[in-house]
A and B are shown apart, each in its own frame.
Chain A
């Protein structure tokens, strides 16, 4: 069955540095992958989508890469700020189809001033 792996340990970085979060998937090849941000006690918020034919996607300080050979997506936040502290979720589509996403456990990012 599909497996989505994100680093379950929190990532602590200093303000101004680049945060890099990893999403690995196994047992299938998704056509795209979505990234969401979740703050404590709130629902996830969509950030970016990257398709399998796109190596890289950018949005302001965010950058996502998609390596279909390594079966991995990397999510980067450059010039990180304390307000970027949140849990980031990786979500490729389910291989069983129909409008379903499979969410990873998420990686918590803590940006200290």
Chain B
């Protein structure tokens, strides 16, 4: 295990539902990321938090809303999603002080929007 956990592992939701994805890291890291991975496409960076402040919002639609209450936890709140939002959502963390540090990924949440 990488020290980064994500729940739920699988989620099926309708377009009118509201749900949240949760990420937790036990590595003492202070930067956390949300990525979207669709079939045949590279990982798309969605959000970056460093020291609990959002430092990057990569032109993500407002139906995705991140929350970072502390350095160990990261949430992605979902509402009124579209079928094209179906993908694997990955959380990652790293130590922020050195740009070279590798990212540690969670196992992902497989999201299906009906």
Of residues 59 through 114 on chain B, the ones whose CB sits less than 8 Å from some CB of chain A are: 88, 90-92, 94, 96, 99-100, 102-108, 110
How many B residues are at the interface, by size bracket?
A: 20 to 34
CB neighbours (8 Å) of A102 from chain B are 42
How many A residues are at the interface, by size bracket?
A: 20 to 34
Q: Does B31 contact A (CB under 8 A)?
A: yes
Contact in complex: A101, B103 (CB < 8 Å): yes
Contact in complex: B106, A43 (CB < 8 Å): yes
Query: Taking A32-B100, A105-B41 as contacts, is the C-beta distance between A98 and B108 under 8 angstroms?
Result: no
CB neighbours (8 Å) of B55 from chain A are 98-99
Q: Does B45 contact A (CB under 8 A)?
A: yes
Contact in complex: B108, A103 (CB < 8 Å): no
CB neighbours (8 Å) of A89 from chain B are 42-43
In the complex formed, the residue of A with least CB distance to B50 is A99
CB neighbours (8 Å) of B92 from chain A are 43
Residues on B lying within 8 angstroms of A by beta carbon are 2, 4, 31, 40-43, 45, 48, 50, 55-56, 88, 90-92, 94, 96, 99-100, 102-108, 110
**Other contacts beyond A43-B90, A44-B105: 8, CB < 8 A:** A43-B4, A43-B91, A43-B105, A45-B2, A49-B100, A89-B43, A99-B31, A105-B42
Contacts A/B (CB < 8 Å), 5 sampled: A42-B107, A45-B105, A98-B50, A99-B55, A102-B42
